[in-house]
Structure 1
Amino acid sequence: MNNNIGFEIIETKIASAPSFKINGITVHSVYDPLSEARKWAAQIINRIENEGMPDKIIVFGLGAGYHIKALADLLKKQENTIKIEAVEPSEKSFNFIKSNFNVSELLKALKITVLDSACKNVYADASSISQELELDKGSILFCELPSYRKIFPEAYGLTYKLYGINQFFTPSSFKILVVQPMYGGSSTIGNYLHSALLGLGYDVKILDFSKFYDAYKYMGEFTPNEDHVNSLKQSLFNLMSEALLSSVFNEPPDLVIFMAQSPASERTLLKLKSMGIKTAYWFVEDFRTLTYWNTIAGNVDYFFTIQKDDFFTELKNIGANNFHYLPLACLPDFHKKITEINEEDRIKYGSDVSFAGAGYYNRKNVFAQLIDFNFKIWGSDWHVGLPLSLLIQDGGKRFTEEEAVKIYNYSKININLHSSMWHWDINPNGDFLNPRVYEILACGGFQLVDRRRYMEGLFEDGKDLVVFETVDDLRKKIKYYLANEEERSAIAAHGRETVLKNHTYERRIREMMNIILLDSYEQIKSKIETRKQNISELLKETEGNKELHDLIMQFSGKKSISIGDMAESIKRGKGRLSKSEAMILMLWAIKSKLVKLQGL
């Protein structure tokens, strides 16, 4: 949004009602702005008569307030109590208006939402704008001061689309398929993503290819020839791609989200595109280590990453322009603080210091210098000799995610050293934050983590977690925080509060969906609207069933509705279900195979 804004006051025929220009564009009539305002207000009243009574009116553009005052006067004459709210796109324009026009009384009676004119990431801000305007509550009539549409086209487009999305879009009306890889950490993240999507009410399925992993590992048993083995593995990959397409043909989703290393061949992606299915890929890997991203990014609609800067430069170099930074997160329903202590678990998983993860080169070197602490190391690939081998728990077996939660809870200090195959100890140029950062904090664990470039703006050193720079620094901080339990607990508590507020998978999904819905607004709107039935038609068809007719009447402010819309509304209600409501919930549960019936 443009922050370079110029203003000019213009005298009009009405001495008490001047107009003004913003960046050379006249906001109100230079002849009679009050007459113009009354005509505008009459048009809005006409819209209300034709479209139905809204719960509130949102006006894009405060201007000098003439039009809003005129609308308020007409509503008052009709003894109409519809609430009016206004959106002003710029803090700078808002301050200019307050300083130069008599709007003090209007502002007392009006809720004003001022958008950030210096907004750098409209997608990240979209959720907060929707929440501030309460676009998901009740029926809304959206209108604009015409000049503002020209002056602030980007802000208008964003606000109008957000309004439109909240009018036509409900999560239950949007079908998503999450595609998992055969193995790896991104599979776990995919499971968390799936759970969060379900929690938000999306019509979501997951395609899990982990059952193919045994076959993948077995390929080497057929031949010692590496080229032949790779050829067999590629054939398996192609088979999984075909299985994916078969699944999609049976029940086409609106969006397919591929997790890193899932079977997303070029042919598959092109086929999905030809079917009108949007594709997103969440590359939750280090782009410097795994470089297959260069064959994927250009073939999907949306490419999400946990790195930016250098990675974005590389993506631009291959001609991609569809990439977005989306860091990892936690799943609060899973990564949570244990409130009832299990003594057996505390003994097994608890320690002064712990680490949970694979035995990478740099970790082995660092942890060999911590053997004098009460230190437990959990995870696989720790092929080390004495004395470090004495710290490896459960014989170096992989731990479950449920066990990870126990480790984070019962350890006094959780070390989080990001992996590196090239650095002796700590990577001085590390950027992205691994899942462990968020998960330890969500469990209420105290965390010592190596410094990462992208930590700034997400978490605060010494307040949410504690950063170490060197092995000596790590040793000193272990000793200090073991001796200062109260400070350690305060940092862990604040870190938990921060991560639960700002860094959950539900929040990541909202940002991801904002990007997709805003970017593909018309296409997705058209697709969803075709699934819905016209409200007036439904009301005619249900005239003989008073209970069902009255239920549909609740949506009379909308033009169309789906069974998913009705199910979502019923679930938000209170009291005993009617027969019609129970039947709708049952039909929706059968259709989606995801909704659990409650209260029937």
Structure 2
Amino acid sequence: MTLYDKNMKLLGKVDPGLCSRLKEESEGIEVKISKIGLPVPKIGRISLHSSYDPLGEAEILIRSQMPEGDGPGKKAILVLGLGFGYHIKELLKRVETQTPIFVVEPSLGILRCAMEYVDLEDILTKTHLLIGKRADGLFEERGLRRIFEGLGSGGLELVTIVHHPSLRINEDYFHKLTRIINRQRFLSMGRLRILVVYPIYGGSLPIAHYCTQALKDMGHEVEVLDNSVYKQALDSIERITDVESHLEQLRGLFTCLLSEAAMARCLKVKPDLVFALAQAPLNREVLERLRQLGIPTAFWFVEDFRFFDYWRKIAPHYDYFFTIQRGEFFEELERIGVKNYHYLPLAASPKIHRKVRLRKEEQREFSSDISFIGAGYYNRRNFFPSLLDFDFRIWGDGWDISSPLGRVIQRSGQRITSEECVKIFCASKINLNLHSSSYHNGVNPNGDFVNPRTFEIAAAGGFQLVDFRSELPELFEIGKEIITYSDIDDLRAKIEYYLDHPLERKRIASRAKKRVAKDHTYEARMREMLEFIYEREERLGAKGQEGERVSELIRQARGDSELGRFLTRFKGRDRLTLKDIVQEIRKGKGELTRPEGVFLLMYEIWDWAKEKKVI
């Protein structure tokens, strides 16, 4: 058996997917034999290892980039560049066997060539190879994603080992990847102070709560400006007069008051980011003042842009504008000068929308063959009478109790809580989902955005039939994770079919639940939002936080073991200033070490410059 066949057989066991992709010929790769008899690949004029002693070179590389100390389970290692793997073999000698190691190499040809010349058994069995993958797709890999999610706990450190010849050959790829790594590292370890501005009322209010909880769960410091407490005051204003011009003026003054309250809160808490949800009362004047102060603002417009057009007045004044629709909406945003816009679909909150066990009395109250939760919009009032021959229950407000639908409307059309919604999702055989419309008799044939109910039903493990939306196929696999209908005849046929096939309902609902947990949580949406902002906002996270992050300083100092050892004494802290370091040095006794002397000198220079007002 040749070396190539041996390596391929092993790769087929540990990563059959990569093995099947390894068909790319190693064209353009010349292999030379080094002075000590080991093969060395060369691409163009760049040799990937030393032509004299690749093993000695590998030892120097790992010694210079690998921090000392730290016990098992404390590190994860990301190696940029494969070459023929000499540096990776040296790395494997120095780390604990349970340390996760990921090797990134954009070229399948490099791996194929290495398989022909080098015994890769240790590398294939003890590392995770990420070969020939897009740089922006690497962090979809489950293992790597878990590593970055674990950085924020403080118990894990990510070490990056750079194979410089590989970077020279694939400069653009690794430059992009480094930016992504820095972004992911920041989002995992960076702690932002975020002010979330709630609306006064409406469907975006619970979404604001879910976003707040998600941001807190991600470890950010979240301040809330809860404008829902002013709902009664707004209702009082609406009763003052019937003259619309006066009402409009009063509403404007009320918005000015709440906007100024938001400004006052910003000046107090000094947030890194102001995040507002649809209908949040922030006027243009305050948004412009925040921009002048250098405080980034973001807005999530979780409404139908065709039905609500107030976005035209506010979108240009936000730094970042997030939407649940794109296409035509994006064209309109560009037309009015909005630059930083991004599609961000709705989601579910697993802490709220989850499978629950119902008591017997709850089963009697909430269970039915078909249920619908929502307000009595025009299309629903016209569509649902055709379903009255089924065991059908409607929950929610805005319905005409005196209409033919009155006999299936529960609790006389009262609003129900989020907790009760979840119980209905779990108790119903089929959850009916029809997106609202004020001008269609049933299904909107041009519907695009996906409502929150779609994700919430799925997250709770409920089975649903939902009207088709153009954005839906990107979010769920239709026919496998979710079932759609196009009109009343299609809906009736599918109701009858799925009532007769309970096991199929269960399988589809289970797949949808897993998909939401994987891709469609509010935490995932908030992470995507912050990634988008971070890529464009260099100062994000810098306000109000003095000093450098200790873990980052230690990581950067790994090439200087003396400096690295000195900085480890600050490991328990989050951030560190020069003043902190000097105060610690002055507590000590005896002869100064080299790093201590350098820091004291730096502080003297800094203190002099401050006194002379140079800085």
Tell me if both proteins adopt one fold, taking TM over 0.5 as the criterion.
Answer: yes
Match of 2:360 among 327, 340, 343: 343
Residue in structure 2 matched with residue 354 of structure 1 by the alignment: 371
Residues of 1 paired with 2:329 and 2:137: CA distance? 21
2:146 paired residue number: 131
Asked whether the equivalents of residues 127 and 510 of structure 1 are also in contact (C-alpha less than 8 Å), the reply is: no
- How far apart in 2 are the matches of 1:536 and 1:141? 10
For the pair 1:193 / 2:206, whether they are aligned, the reply is no
| Residue-by-residue CA offset, 1:177-230 (whole Å, 9 max, x unaligned) | 211111111111111111222233321122111122233233343333222211
Q: CA shift at 1:109, angstroms? A: 5.5
Other-structure match for 1:208: 226
Give how far 1:421 is off: 1.7
Alpha-carbon displacement from aligned partner over 1:454-502 (angstroms, at most 9, x marks no partner): 2214323343332112101111222222233333333323322332233
Residue 580 of structure 2: aligned partner: none
Note the C-alpha offset of 1:434: 0.6
**Partner of residue 591, structure 2:** none
1:8 aligned onto 2:23:
no
Asked if 2 retains the 8 angstrom alpha-carbon contact of 1:123 and 1:515, the reply is no
CA contact (8 A) 2:187 2:527 kept: no
Aligned length: 535
Instruction: Give, in angstroms, the shift of residue 528 of structure 1.
Output: 7.6
Q: 2:503 aligns with which of 468, 486, 501?
A: 486
8 Å contact 1:127–1:511 — kept in the other structure?
no
Residues 436-445 or 124-133, more deviating: 124-133
| Residue aligned with 1:296, SS | helix
Among candidates 418, 424, 435, match of residue 407 of structure 1: 424
Select which of 387, 405, 408 maps to 1:388.
Answer: 405
The residue aligned with 1:274 is 292
User: Which residue of structure 2 aligns with residue 65 of structure 1?
Assistant: 85
What CA deviation, in whole Å up to 9, does each residue of 1:59-118 have, x standing for no partner?
21112334445x449x66xx9989683532426455544456536245236514426644
**Counterpart for residue 252 of structure 1:** 270
State the one-letter code of the partner of 1:194.
T
What residue in structure 2 maps to residue 446 of structure 1? 463
Once residues 34 and 448 of structure 1 are traced to their aligned partners in structure 2, the CA distance between those partners, rounded to angstroms, is 67
Cα 1:156–1:445 change in 2 (3 A) is same
Q: Distance in 2 between matches of 1:348 and 1:81?
A: 56
Identify the match of residue 173 of structure 1 among 191, 206, 212: 191
Counterpart for residue 350 of structure 2: 332
Task: Judge conservation of contact 1:86–1:111 (CA < 8 Å) in 2.
Answer: yes
Q: Indicate how the Cα distance of structure 1 residues 138 and 349 shifts in structure 2: closer, same or farther if over 3 A, else same.
A: closer
Q: 3-state DSSP class of the match of 1:368? A: helix
- Equivalent residue for 1:223, pick from 213, 218, 241: 241
Structure 2 CA distance, aligned partners of 1:13 and 1:274? 62
Per the alignment, in what secondary structure is the counterpart of residue 472 of structure 1? helix
Aligned CA distance change for structure 1 residues 317 and 17 (closer, same or farther; 3 Å): farther
**Residue 373 (structure 1) aligns with:** 390
SS in 2 for 1:377: strand
* Residues 75-86 of structure 1 mapped to structure 2, 5 A cutoff: 85-86=101-102
Please tell me whether the aligned partners of residues 123 and 511 of structure 1 are also in contact (alpha carbons under 8 angstroms).
Answer: no
Could you report, residue by residue, the CA deviation over 1:253-273 in whole angstroms, capped at 9, with x for unpaired residues? 222211111123232223223
Please give the residue correspondences for 1:103-114 in structure 2 after superposition, counting only pairs within 5 Å: 104-105=120-121, 107-108=123-124, 110-114=126-130
Report the Cα offset of residue 300 of structure 1.
2.8
Residue 358 of structure 1 contacts residue 381 of structure 1 at CA under 8 Å; is this kept in 2?
yes
Selected match of 1:87 from 93, 103, 106: 103
- Return the alpha-carbon distance in structure 1 between the equivalents of residues 201 and 246 of structure 2: 22
Deviates more, 1:492-501 or 1:463-472: 492-501
**CA distance in 1: counterparts of 2:149 and 2:375, whole angstroms:** 45
- Structure 2 unaligned spans of 5+: 1-23, 554-564, 577-615
Query: Taking structure 1 as reference, are residues 486 and 57 closer, same or farther at Cα in structure 2, changes over 3 Å only?
Result: closer
8 Å contact kept, 2:25–2:112: no
- Structure 1 CA distance for aligned equivalents of residues 413 and 437 of structure 2: 19
Code of the residue aligned with 1:355 in structure 2: it is F
Aligned mates of 1:223, 1:411 — CA distance in 2:
45
The answer as to whether partners of 1:142 and 1:163 remain within 8 angstroms in 2 is no
1:435 aligned residue: 452
Counterpart of 2:219 in 1: which secondary structure? Answer: coil
- Number of the residue aligned with 1:312: 330
Distance 1:373 1:94, change over 3 A: farther
Aligned position for 2:9: none
Identity rate of aligned residues, in percent?
Answer: 35
1:129-181 CA distance string (max 9 Å, x none): 44367772633332322344455455434543455456666668321221111
AA at the equivalent of 2:334: K
CA drift of 1:35 comes to: 4.7
TM-superposed deviation, 1:449: 0.8
Distance 1:36 1:318 in 2: 59
- What SS does the aligned partner of 1:204 have? strand
TM-score (norm: length of structure 2): 0.76
TM-score normalised per structure 1: 0.78
Structure 2 residue 448 is the aligned partner of structure 1 residue 426: no
Render the CA deviation track for 1:333-379: whole Å, top value 9, x for unaligned.
2112221x323332332222111111111111110211222211122
Q: Among 414, 417, 427, which residue is 2:434 paired with? A: 417
Provide the rounded CA distance (Å) in 2 between the counterparts of 1:109 and 1:479: 52
For residues 20-39 of structure 1, the aligned pairs below 5 Å read: 20-21=42-43, 26=46, 28=48, 32-35=50-53, 38-39=56-57
Give the equivalent residue in structure 2 for 1:584. Answer: none
Q: How far apart in 1 are the matches of 2:122 and 2:534? A: 34
Q: Deviations over 1:290-340 (max 9, x none)?
A: 22333333333332222233333333333433222222111122112221x
Partner residue, 2:574? 561
Tell me: CA distance 1:16–1:49, structure 2 relative to 1, closer, same or farther (3 Å).
closer
Q: Distance between the aligned counterparts of 1:146 and 1:320, measured in 2?
A: 40
- 2:242 counterpart letter in structure 1: P
Separation in structure 2 between the aligned mates of residue 55 and residue 146 of structure 1, nearest angstrom: 22
Cα shift at 1:437: 0.7
Query: In structure 2, how many angstroms separate the alpha carbons of the residues matched to 1:57 and 1:49?
Result: 11
2:425 partner SS = helix
2:321 maps to which residue? 303
Give distance in 2, aligned partners of 1:126 and 1:252: 36
Amino acid at match of 2:574: I
Q: Distance in 2 between matches of 1:436 and 1:448?
A: 11
Distance 2:544 2:55 in 1: 36
Tell me what 2:533 maps to: 516
